[in-house]
Structure formats: C-alpha cells, structure tokens
Amino acid sequence: MKIAVEGCCHGELDKIYETIELLEQKNNIKVDLLLMCGDFQAVRNKSDMQCMAVPQKYQEIKTFYKYYSGEKKAPILTIFVGGNHEASNYLQELPYGGWVAPNIYYMGYAGVIQVGGVRIAGCSGIYKGHNAHKGHYEHPPYNEDAKRSAYHVRALEIFRLKQLTRPVKIFVSHDWPRNIWKYGDVHELLKRKPDFQKDIDDGKLGNPFHEELLYYLKPEYWFAAHLHIKFPAAVQHESSDGQSKVTKFLSLDKCLPRRKFLQVLDVPHDSDKPINIELDAEWLAILKSTNHLLNLKRADKYLPGPGGRERWNFNVTNEEMNSIIEDFGGSLTIPDNFEKSVDVYNPSERNPPTPQTMTNSQTTLLCTMLDLTDPNAVFLGKDSKYDTSMDGNVDENVGSDNDEDDDVDDDTEYESFVADSDQSLSFLSSSNADDSIMSLGVSVNVSVDEKDNPAKSQNDSEEDSDEEFKAIMQKQKLEQSIDKSTSPSKSSASQSDLDDTDSELQEITAEQKAKRQLQLTSDRGHVELALPGSDDEELASLIAEQKKFQTVPDISVEETPSLVSEDTIPLSQSSPASSGERSDSEVVRATSGLVLGEDKEGRKRSDGSESEESPQSKKIRVKRNQSLYESGSEME
C-alpha cells in the first residue's frame, strides 16, 4: 500500500491533492492513503475562522469548504490529526474521531484505526504543561484562552494510548516526541533552525507525553510536523524479549514553495482487505472501560496509578475485543455517514454568526454504541448523568497561552503548484538527499522549489545524499557523550540484536538494488522516484552507532506487556505493569472528584463498569447496535 504523508496542511488541500496527482501520472503509481500531521484547518465558513488561534490578518478560508460542501471530493482516502491552528469548534464535535467531509477522516483527540490491516494510532494537539491534567472544558463560543487550550494534549489521551498492548504500525502526531533530535542529524537541524538550541538545552524541544508513547508503543513509523522542517531519525529500542525494534521517525514541512512537505512510501498491508477505515476493537474497548475517567472541568484531575485503590490497568483481553466486535455486528468498517450541519462559506457574508456548541450525529452514534459520554451533549444539557458544576469556559486568563509559532511567518501568496501550462513542473523538485532512513520500499520525496537548477544531475543528488549520510554519522560520533549509562554487559548483549538487524537490512538492500531506478525530469525542475538502497545501509550504520554508544533515555515507562495471541482466549486480564509505566505526574493515590460510572439502574461503581445484564437484554442490545451501525443512523 502506497501511503503519502504530508506535514502541516494549513488548508491547502487543492495544492496537496494536485501534487500527488502529478506524481501518480508521471510515475505510473497509485497512492492509496494520505496521512496529514496537523494544522489541517477544516474551516467551513467565516464563523469557523473565528475559532482558529491565528491573528485575524492570517485568517483565510482556504479550500476545505469545497470538500465539505460537496463541490469537490477528496480523490484519496485522507486521515489527519489536529494541530494548533484548527477550526476547533468543528473538531470538538468529533472527540472520538469521524468524517469531516466525504473521504476525509479526523482521528479525534486520540485514536486507533486500521486501513487495509495496517494499524494507525494518532494524537492531536500540542503540549502545554499547565493544561496537561485539565479536562476538556472548552466549547464554543470561546474566549481567547479557551481558543488555544482547546488543542492542548490532555493526560487522559496518553493514559488511554498506553493501555494498548498490540503492535502499532504507524503513529501520527503534530508535536515531535521530546528528545527525538538525539537520533538524527542535530547539527544540520540547528544549522537550519538555530532557535531550537535553547529548547534543546532546556529539554523542551518536543512533547514529553509523546516521548513516553514512543518508548512504550515502539511503532515502526512515527510521522509529525509542527516545527516546519524535514527531519528524519531512527530510534533503536531495547526489548526484554530480545527482539530488536526500530522506529523510523520523520517530520515534514508545511505546504509551501521550496519546502519538503510530502513523502510517499510503501507499507506492507493485508491484500485481502480493502483500503478503507475500520475501527480498532482494542481501542474501542479502552474507550468504553475508561469513560468514567473523562474530565470536562477546568480543574486538574490526576489519573489513577499503581498503589491507589482505583483500577488503573485497562489492558484489553481477547474476550473484551470479541464482545466489541459482536456488538458491532461482526464488522468494524466505518460507514459513510457524513452529514453537513452548517452553511458553507459565503464570500458576501458580512456579519457571520458567533459559533455555538453543536453535537454531531457520528459522535452520537458511537456514544450510543459504546455508552460513552459526548462532551458537547453534556455542555448542551442533553446528558444528565454528568455533573456539569464548574464546567465550561471562564473569563479570567489565568495561564493564558501564546502558542504562536512560525506557521504564519511566510508569504503564502503563490500560484498553484500544478498548472495546465508547459511550466506545470517548474515548482516541483526532489532529491534523494533527505530520503534517508525512510526507505522500506519505494520512497518519493517531494519539495516545492521556485528556482530549480536544470543542470542538476542524478549524480549530484547522490553526492548530496552521501554528504548528508556523512553528516549523520558525524552527528552520531558527537552524540556518544550524551548518554554514558550503557554498561559493557548491555553492549555485548545488544550486539547479537544488531547482527540480526544488519542481516535483515542487507536482504532489503539487495532486493531494492535489483529494481530499476526511475527518474522524472522536466525543462526546469524534476521529481525523482527512487529506490535508495544506500539509505538502508545508512540505517544499518546509524543503528550500529546507536547500539554501541547509546541506550534509550531513562524515562518512567515500562516495556510493552506481552501480547495476547489472537487465537487464544486468556483466562484473566493481563497482569498490571509496574509503577514505572506511568510518569510521576500521572500517579497519585488520592483521586477525589472522579466521575463514577453507573449501571443500568443508576447504581454507581467505583471502576465505572456496568452491572451484568441478562442474556435476553444483551441479545436485544446487540441487535439494536447492529441495526444502528449498519444504517449509520443515531438513536432517536
């Protein structure tokens, strides 16, 4: 399956889809899936623009409204996470994910889905420590403080993602994981972004929540954006089972001329499954079992941890997953149940209405199926089970945020990347130089360059690539002094893992070198579709250097618990992990003010679980859920 990954979108859907279409036509390929790493800007009308945390002079409608209205349809299945420049009012209607337009899917505050058997997890927003443990109290109409805190990552999303025990192939975020710079060419990074030095020195470059997830989930790929630079890295994980794992990290730029904002790669998938989105049974079970932990208040609320009296381990058993699948009628394929709910952009509109809190039929349906809380329904007084005292937005600007980055520091007034004239390729260029580390199969690196040199040859690109690889290796040598905690015994034990990795990489490299290299040229610019076998050699060398001189930074996380085989039914729930699994900020013994779950008669239970239902009532409920989900309608 060919997956295109894009950095910051900033509403430029037309330009992104046009660029991908050009690649498909010129290289005779078909992109199956597009992943976007935030700042999507799902702006439907002028009211939505009032909910974006950008200066008013930068509030632009862009092109999403055309896809929302049906004027256009996304030509590629598109999945995205939220960033820090979003129409937050619309995205907050879909806290658990959903279609924002036909063929365009939002992953919610956090989520896990599957496409063609490939498991994709994601987390929206950026990190701000003073809001990390607050609830999702924000809702329209926003004050300036709430407009920004609405997209700040909350601890609950991280807590839920850390309940996953089954492998994740791809993780998508807007923020970088903290300290990811240690695993790439930090010297080149600082040469291009010297302002990053202070954040690196202060340990603040990146998201500490994402750092926990990186070492806990160990995904094969991690894609991000936010910092507006292309940056590859390879993270070598140590594992108690002796299996060496590598996370290939790639951050991409935003969609602008002379920027490297798009990457296409091959990812193996289940050829027996169609390329569509399926809900993930393990994730649905986690949402259901942790619903009582949802906080919709501005006050901090710390989540349960080891040593407390409240349940804190929500690892999912196969039996629980089978129950979820049964409730959904045996199929978790997401129905095409998108519905328009507001009027689309009208250029002549002078006084757009103030955005108001709204519910979304997709969220209502999922909450009905899983007995989840719909935050917007609570704010509208439609959910009497939740205590709304002290909820909502307040006027004081205590801890007000200034999240402005360099998203608006560029002149975005430029012509389309793809035109019908003979100069249609004049802005398109690419080089192998930054394809390093990301080559599992075919890798296409796309940037937009206004001043391509037509005399630049493929040999020049290869020389640039060699220089970059040398720089990365030099970086690794300089990084030897960062982490001196590696013991001789660990170094010796890890050598066998490295040998296995080298052998596998050599096989991949041999297979790639056997394929022919494709190159697309034009009069003024070029797009290369290459099979960079040297990248895998570089990856092997990079891993070798890291194995010899580095270990995974010591943070409060534990190795992923043993996986439960899909063809076995465990007798009990997975055993709890050690207290090291949670960061100090997440672990407390006293958890006052928690919202408790209720059983069918309204009796509260401390773990939020439901009382057992009779076989007859379960049969009726399953039949109802199947009918609801297949029709895509909501409960009246």
Half-sphere exposure of 178 (CA within 13 A, CB side): 19
Mean pLDDT of the chain: 76
Q: What per-residue confidence (pLDDT) applies to 300?
A: 97
For residue 152, pLDDT beyond 70: yes
For residue 394, pLDDT beyond 90: no
Span 211-232, average pLDDT: 98
Q: How far apart are CA 226 and CA 176, in angstroms?
A: 8
- Give the other-Cβ count within 10 Å of 457's Cβ: 13
Q: How far apart are CA 143 and CA 393, in angstroms?
A: 7
E strands present in 309-442: 428-429
What lies within 8 Å, CB to CB, of 342 at 6+ separation is 44, 45, 47, 358
Q: What per-residue confidence (pLDDT) applies to 570?
A: 35
Q: What per-residue confidence (pLDDT) applies to 540?
A: 60
DSSP 270-289: -TTS-SSEEE-HHHHHHHHH
User: Can you tell me whether residue 15 is helix, strand or coil?
Assistant: helix
Using CA atoms, how far residue 388 sits from 281, 382, 393, 548, in Å, is 30, 11, 12, 55
Q: How far apart are CA 553 and CA 57, in angstroms?
A: 42
Q: How far apart are CA 363 and CA 94, in angstroms?
A: 6
Span 347-364, average pLDDT: 95
H or E stretch at 513: helix 488-513
Provide the percentage of residues in the chain whose pLDDT is more than 90: 57
Task: List b or e across 117-150, with b for residues whose CB sees 16 or more CB atoms inside 10 angstroms.
Answer: bbbbbbbbbbbbeebbbbbbbbbbbbeebbbbbb
Span 324-337, average pLDDT: 96
pTM of the model: 0.72
Q: What is the pLDDT of residues 553-585, one digit of tens each?
A: 433 333 333 333 333 333 233 333 333 344 433
Range of weakest confidence among 191-195, 306-310, 497-501? 497-501
Confidence band for 244, pLDDT divided at 50, 70 and 90: confident
Q: What per-residue confidence (pLDDT) applies to 433?
A: 32
Q: What per-residue confidence (pLDDT) applies to 567?
A: 37
H helix runs in 398-485, sequence order: 458-478
Structure tokens at 326: 């049964």
Range of weakest confidence among 47-51, 219-223, 229-233, 629-633? 629-633
CATH of 2-586, one of 3.40.350.10, 3.60.21.10, 3.90.550.10, 3.40.120.10: 3.60.21.10
Q: What per-residue confidence (pLDDT) applies to 258?
A: 86
Span 371-391, average pLDDT: 81
* Domain spans, the chain: 2-586
Q: What per-residue confidence (pLDDT) applies to 225?
A: 98
Q: What per-residue confidence (pLDDT) applies to 268?
A: 95
Burial class (CB in 10 A: 0-12, 13-18, 19+), 529: buried
Q: What is the pLDDT of residues 434-462, one digit of tens each?
A: 333 333 334 455 554 433 333 333 334 33
For residue 299, pLDDT beyond 50: yes
For residue 118, pLDDT beyond 80: yes
Span 8-23, average pLDDT: 97
